[in-house]
Amino acid sequence: MTPINEHSALVVDDHPLVARGIAEYLRSHCGFDRADAICAAADLWANIGRFGAPTLALVDFWLPEGTALPALVRLRDEYPATRLMVISGDDDPAVRDKVRRLPVDGFLLKQAEPAVFAQAVAAVLHGDAWFDEAPVAVQTAGETRNLPLSPAELGLTPRQGEVLAMMLKGLPNKRIAQALSLTEQTVKEHVSGILDRLGARNRIDLITRLRGKRVDA
């Protein structure tokens, strides 16, 4: 088994190279004698069985199987001495919230600077908690992080594209009409055309089908 003062770490992330990169960093810059990279929760238990409980476990919130929540509570439960940190790539407030209620010692965004990373790891090893603050006014995720579709690639006319874009913002026909200086009726016809082309029964069906997507002008 591991000697008393040896520091070992486990990194769990579904991106093999990311896990390896972080593990490597822990070895070279954070004074760990051993750091293993793991890609699935299943391998986690196997690894612990072989090498014993690590000093620190860094676990990605999103794993291929879903969230890491069950794995985290089990880890905490079975190996209470292991320090637990959660890392995440996307800065979703809901994720922060969930993590804060979890029995873990720290939370960190993957886009953190290596120096911050080292600082956080040191703090957690020392017995302190380390929770990343939300960066101010960075509302990337939902809005910026998806590609606008062009009307053409949906088989729509330019005008239909404009109407669709406004529909997806939740605007009613009347508002669309006045925004485009049209009759409500003309808008309705564009809407009918769009629904027909995209195979949706009504605008709600359309919106839910295209949920999260955007269309440009």
Q: State the pairing for strand pair 106-109/62-63.
A: unpaired
CB nearer to a copy of itself: give 111 or 183.
Answer: 111
Rg (CA), the chain: 24
CB nearer to a copy of itself: give 80 or 142.
Answer: 142
- In the list a copy of itself, DNA, none, the entry touching 114 (Cβ below 5 to 8 angstroms by class) is a copy of itself
Name residues contacting a copy of itself, limited to 166-195 (CB under 8 A). 168-170, 172
75 binds DNA per the rule CB under 7 A: no
154 binds a copy of itself per the rule CB under 8 A: no
216 binds a copy of itself per the rule CB under 8 A: no
Give the x/- contact pattern for DNA in 137-166, rule: CB under 7 A. Answer: --------------------xxxx------
Name residues contacting DNA, limited to 26-55 (CB under 7 A). none
State the number of CA atoms in the 13 A half-sphere of 177 facing the CB: 12
User: 130 - beta bridge partners?
Assistant: 106
CA distances from 3 to 8, 68, 103, 114 (A): 10, 29, 27, 28
How many chain residues touch a copy of itself (CB under 8 A)? 46
Query: What is the number of other CB atoms lying within 10 angstroms of the CB of residue 102?
Result: 16
Dig out the tokens for 217 from the structure.
């002008």
Q: Which of 144, 181, 185, 199 binds a copy of itself (CB under 8 A)?
A: 144
110 binds DNA per the rule CB under 7 A: no
How many chain residues touch DNA (CB under 7 A)? 24
CA distance 115 to 119: 6
105 exposed, middle or buried (CB, 10 Å; 0-12, 13-18, 19+)?
A: buried
- In the list a copy of itself, DNA, none, the entry touching 158 (Cβ below 5 to 8 angstroms by class) is DNA
What lies within 8 Å, CB to CB, of 154 at 6+ separation is 161, 164, 197, 198, 215
- In the list a copy of itself, DNA, none, the entry touching 22 (Cβ below 5 to 8 angstroms by class) is a copy of itself
- In the list a copy of itself, DNA, none, the entry touching 91 (Cβ below 5 to 8 angstroms by class) is none
- In the list DNA, a copy of itself, none, the entry touching 174 (Cβ below 5 to 8 angstroms by class) is DNA
CA distance 193 to 174: 17
Assess contact for 144 and 174: CB atoms under 8 A: no
- In the list a copy of itself, DNA, none, the entry touching 188 (Cβ below 5 to 8 angstroms by class) is DNA
Interface residues toward DNA, by CB under 7 A? 157-160, 172-174, 180-186, 188-192, 195-196, 202-204
